[in-house]
Structure 1
Amino acid sequence: MPKQTRILTTRLTAVAVAAVLVTGAQAQTLDSTVARESRINQDAAASQQRVTRLAQQTADLLAEYRQVVRQAESLAVYNDQLEKVVVDQRNEVTSINEQLAGLEDTNRGVVPLMLEMIDALGQIVESDMPFRLEERRARVERLRDMMDQADVTTSEKYRRIMEAYQGELEYGRTTEAYSEALPSTGQTVEFLRVGRTLLVYQTSDQETTGWFNPTTREFESLPDRFRLEVKEGLSIARNEKAPDLVTLPVPGPEVAQ
């Protein structure tokens, strides 16, 4: 081989070796760069995860804080309202105590009045015509017993007394027929009461007809002419017949002494 050719071949070989060496160095540098880039990416991803986690924690804490603030505001409003309620309740208790103190004074004045009313009612029953006498006497006795009962309030006692008076007033505006024993004989007869003005009676066989004489305060027989009239009146009072005029004995007015 000529000398020039060998020299050229040697130079080309050297250049090739140098190129291989340069390529190997670049490859190592590239691998190193890729590795660093990969680590950077991994670190960035980890950092992003931490940032995301911290952001979520921050959002949770913010939501919790807002919830606590709302609860605190609600509690403040509730406490203010509760304080007003407590103040009102205290005022109510004070008012009730004052009313109780006044009620005790009222009771001391009302109780004697109610006892007098019961006694007066008993006198009315005894001095009135003797219709439903046992029933009315029993009502007065129940009122007297009620006054000794601690479980009945003063207002309830007063209400029952007024009901008894109302019942007595109703007798003056009503007419009724009822069966009861005649006080003078014990025989059961049919009574006809016309308000508080007239009290007549008749036996079931209509053989005996009589009345309560307010002047003598005795039960007395009536003439036979009143037999049919009293029978008619009893039928009307029982709603067995339509209302009609009947002739009955009515006591005349008494002269005031």
Structure 2
Amino acid sequence: MSRVSKKSLIASALAGAFALSAMSVSAEPLSDVQAESGRIHKEAAKSQQKIDSLYEQSQDLLAEYREVVDQTENLKVYNDHLQRLVNDQNAVLASLQKQIDGIEDTKQGVVPLMYRMIDTLEQFIQLDVPILIKDRKERVERLRELMGRSDVTTSEKYRQVLEAYQIENDYGNKIASYQGELELDGNNVTVDLFHLGRVVFVAQSLDQKSAWVWDNDARAWQELGDEYLNPITQAIRMARKQAAVDLIKLPVKAAEIAQ
């Protein structure tokens, strides 16, 4: 073989060796690139998952935020409503307190008034025709006792005082009869009593043989003549609904003519 042919073979061998060497060197970086690319894709997928998760969380938080905002608005409206109610209640309480204070002031005036009314009632009874005199005096005593009781309200005391006045007023409008006792000549005599309002107040013995009329000016009983016995008996029966109402003759004192 010529020297030229040997050189060509050596050159070809070297070229092949270099080519193989180059292919081996270039193959290693490509594998690394592919591996890195795969890793990047995996990391990107993980990142996307995190992004998706964060997005979902942000949407949930946004929904919760909107719900809280709605609730806050509702609470604000409700609180405003409650505040108006509280303000109205405070106004009512203030009005009630003012009324209570007024009641205390009124009580300071009413209590002395009631004592004066009881005194006046007692004086009136002493000067009036003595119809049911015992009951009326006892009523006044009960009122005086009532005024000293702490367990009875002022309003109830006032009501009972007014009631006593109403009872006194009714005596002037009633026709009634009842049994009682008269003190005559130092003796107590049981009699039937009859009154026509305050105009006539008469008494008759139970045997219907004697009769008397009350003279309020003299503050004493005056004996009547026999002509009044039957009319008074009839009057007593009418008052007790034992006889029909009819015209009767009764001793009525004539009014004096003013001079």
Same fold (TM over 0.5): yes
- Structure 2 SS opposite 1:144: helix
**What's 1:121 paired with?**
121
- Looking at structure 2, the residues matched to 139 and 107 of structure 1 have their Cα atoms a distance apart, in angstroms, of 23
Q: Which residue of 195, 217, 223 maps to 1:193?
A: 195
- Structure 2 SS opposite 1:232: helix
1:186 CA displacement: 2.3
Matched, 1:99 2:73: no
**What's 1:130 paired with?**
130
- Looking at structure 2, the residues matched to 69 and 245 of structure 1 have their Cα atoms a distance apart, in angstroms, of 93
Output one character per residue of 1:41-69: Cα deviation in whole Å (capped at 9) or x when no partner. Answer: xxxxxxxxxxxxxxxxx9xxx9xx99x99
- Looking at structure 2, the residues matched to 237 and 78 of structure 1 have their Cα atoms a distance apart, in angstroms, of 71
- Looking at structure 1, the residues matched to 213 and 77 of structure 2 have their Cα atoms a distance apart, in angstroms, of 79
AA aligned opposite 1:243: V
Matched, 1:227 2:208: no
- Looking at structure 1, the residues matched to 171 and 71 of structure 2 have their Cα atoms a distance apart, in angstroms, of 69
Which runs of 5 or more structure 1 residues have no equivalent in the other structure? Answer: 1-57
1:89 CA displacement: 2.2
Mean alpha-carbon deviation: is it higher for 125-134 or for 216-225?
216-225
- Looking at structure 2, the residues matched to 183 and 80 of structure 1 have their Cα atoms a distance apart, in angstroms, of 80
Mean alpha-carbon deviation: is it higher for 149-158 or for 226-235?
149-158
1:58-77 equivalent positions in 2, closer than 5 A? none
Identity among equivalent pairs (%): 41
Q: Give the 3 Å change call, closer, same or farther, for CA 78–231 of structure 1 in structure 2.
A: farther
- Looking at structure 1, the residues matched to 135 and 229 of structure 2 have their Cα atoms a distance apart, in angstroms, of 27
Output one character per residue of 1:150-207: Cα deviation in whole Å (capped at 9) or x when no partner. Answer: 2322222222211111111111111101111224432221100110111111122112
AA aligned opposite 1:83: Q
Q: Give the 3 Å change call, closer, same or farther, for CA 256–143 of structure 1 in structure 2.
A: farther
Question: Cα RMSD between the aligned structures?
Answer: 2.6
Q: Give the 3 Å change call, closer, same or farther, for CA 69–247 of structure 1 in structure 2.
A: farther
- Looking at structure 2, the residues matched to 256 and 120 of structure 1 have their Cα atoms a distance apart, in angstroms, of 26
Q: Give the 3 Å change call, closer, same or farther, for CA 78–205 of structure 1 in structure 2.
A: farther
**What's 1:248 paired with?**
250
AA aligned opposite 1:162: L
Which runs of 5 or more structure 2 residues have no equivalent in the other structure? Answer: 1-59
- Looking at structure 1, the residues matched to 136 and 78 of structure 2 have their Cα atoms a distance apart, in angstroms, of 59
AA aligned opposite 2:220: E
AA aligned opposite 2:108: R
Matched, 1:109 2:115: no
Relative to the length of structure 2, the TM-score reads 0.66
Q: Give the 3 Å change call, closer, same or farther, for CA 194–69 of structure 1 in structure 2.
A: farther
1:88 CA displacement: 2.2
AA aligned opposite 1:109: G
- Looking at structure 1, the residues matched to 182 and 86 of structure 2 have their Cα atoms a distance apart, in angstroms, of 67
Q: Give the 3 Å change call, closer, same or farther, for CA 70–221 of structure 1 in structure 2.
A: farther
Is the radius of gyration larger for structure 1 or structure 2?
2
- Looking at structure 2, the residues matched to 253 and 110 of structure 1 have their Cα atoms a distance apart, in angstroms, of 38
Asked if 2 retains the 8 angstrom alpha-carbon contact of 1:214 and 1:251, the reply is no
- Structure 2 SS opposite 1:150: coil
1:76 CA displacement: 6.2
AA aligned opposite 1:198: V
- Looking at structure 2, the residues matched to 250 and 102 of structure 1 have their Cα atoms a distance apart, in angstroms, of 50
AA aligned opposite 2:232: V
